[in-house]
Amino acid sequence: MEPAHDKRDAILETALVLFCERGFYGTPTSLISREAGVATGTLFFYFATKEELIDTLYRQIKSEAATALKTGVDREPAIKQKLCRVWENAIAWATENPAKFRFMEQFAHSPFVSSMAHEEGMSHFLFLQDLVRDGIRNGIIRDYDPVLLCSILAASLSGLAPRIMAATDPDQRLLLTRQALAFLWNGLAMDPDAGEPCTTAKRRGKNKRSRQP
């Protein structure tokens, strides 16, 4: 007998693909059940409504993305390097999880996701606001509204990630990632040239100095 958690995971994985391809209205629960290989009654056992299903998927992906973005940040020595790490993690996560990235983009401001799920999803990214506030307090980042600055970073990721993800050559992808990061840092920093270079980019690109932005 198939374990219960496997059926639940199958429903969520199938819903992710179908919601991205067909949207909310174009994805009936009967189609999700059929494609997931479970009975419709089984789907409703785990998720009482389609709205509950999409909320669960949204919460799960937001939590997963935030965990990925925070990876290794505490080991970086300074605010600049911490933000560099977050950016590189974000690009890596989007590249490795294109369907989940697309889902987040598609439903980030969707009325089909409840306000409670939106709030919970965003709460996972409060660490980024804390990083920006630390940078402002230490005179490293411009003294602008931290929420505004984080919104600019999020919007930049939405626009830049597809371009970087489209690059099939790893060296080109690294170059684009570093160029985007340099551009964003120029906008955030009180003095863009102050401090050490991003250690993560420096380590991974140490043999490509001629291609640095």
Tens of pLDDT along 192-202?
A: 776 666 655 44
35/69 same-domain check: no
* d(C-alpha 49, C-alpha 105), whole Å: 22
Residue partners of 50: CB distance under 8 A and separation at least 6:
24, 27, 28, 29
28/99 same-domain check: no
107/194 same-domain check: yes
80/128 same-domain check: yes
15/93 same-domain check: no
- CATH code of 62's domain: 1.10.357.10
Angle between helix axes 79-96 and 98-107 (nearest 10 degrees) is 100
Average pLDDT of span 10-28? 94
130/43 same-domain check: no
Tell me, what's the pLDDT at 193? 77
What is the number of domains present in the chain?
A: 2
31/119 same-domain check: no
Q: Please check the confidence at residue 176 and state whether its pLDDT lies above 90.
A: yes
17/77 same-domain check: no
The DSSP code sequence of 92-154 is: HHHHH-HHHHHHHHHHTT-TTS-HHHHHHHHHTTHHHHHHHHHHHHTTSB-SS-HHHHHHHHH
| Burial class (CB within 10 angstroms; exposed 0-12, middle 13-18, buried 19+) of 51 | middle
Angle between helix axes 98-107 and 50-70 (nearest 10 degrees) is 120
Q: Please check the confidence at residue 207 and state whether its pLDDT lies above 90.
A: no
3-class secondary structure, 205:
coil
Residue bearing the bigger pLDDT, 162 or 5: 162
- CA 165 to chain CA centroid, Å, is 13
Q: Which domain holds residue 40?
A: 1-48
Eight-class DSSP state of 15: H
- CATH code of 23's domain: 1.10.10.60
94: its two tokens: 């989007």
85/23 same-domain check: no
Do the beta carbons of residue 95 and residue 173 sit within 8 Å?
Answer: yes
Tens of pLDDT along 65-92?
A: 999 999 999 999 999 999 999 999 999 9
65/149 same-domain check: yes
187/89 same-domain check: yes
Q: Please check the confidence at residue 209 and state whether its pLDDT lies above 90.
A: no
86/61 same-domain check: yes
Share of the chain above pLDDT 70, in %: 89
